[in-house]
Structure 1
């Protein structure tokens, strides 16, 4: 766990740079982000938010999957995170123990979305904050089963098989692209 904390603390300033740059570009007007809900209204806000969340889910799924499938990316970037590959080596700190470039690549869909989809700036920042908490949560090995949420049970399987459950907040992308492995199925096999 000390190694996980050390890796996370060294990488964190680097992968905090992307949201900082994104916020600056938003503040100078280069993104489609908007500052107030009354700029677009509640209905448009909810529609844009749904589109943004799907975009982020899709982007993070594919970025994460490619970090596994493209061998040099895995070897030089993502393997740093996957040294924690057993249930007893995972902890909330492992969720932030990434190579800095790996963390930036996986956060990229959040920032790219700002240039494509109108999204409320504070909502975007809140989602980035929630993502940090979420990342720690899915590495804590406390297996709650709340479909379609990508919980720790699903993500622990990801760390032990390397070929399943690449998703972000939900399991939908894994289900759509054939990489879903349900922890309930694994428990049924054991019994």
Structure 2
């Protein structure tokens, strides 16, 4: 009887450990769209997006820890106007011929309660890496309503200066401050 209780206690302990293990989620490229906006010569706020993003999110709910690793295909810039897509991909801005991707790799995720509130990390654009902090404006973790798999979803935002990444052509007439807004969804492997 005593051996059975000890065995049950160990089994419960290790089962709890398994449930608390970090989960890896793969980014759903059909529902993950980094967008950016900037002031265009004082006339309007332009909003553009990238159409292909890959990466992973690792979430350890028990430890209140996470890691985010995102790669943006900068050749998929979508301005809504093909000629302008090419202009933004040029050497004065994203220089996608030399730098076809931008990346974000988290270094620290700050939780408030059970949800991430901010994500600190390194943003690399045109081969230039700068630290940024993303503010998480919404977060979801639970079963995906259609796929019936564990999923995460989030929106996060930050402001950068494009000149810090070698893309400051026409500043200040075309705003140097760029607001990044990332909509992300990922599903467990």
Whether the TM-score (by the shorter chain) exceeds 0.5 is no
| TM-score for the superposition, normalised by structure 1 | 0.28
More strand by share: 2
More helix by share: 1
| TM-score for the superposition, normalised by structure 2 | 0.28
- Choose 1 or 2 for highest CA Rg: 2
Greater RCO (Cα-Cα under 8 Å, separation 6 or more) = 1
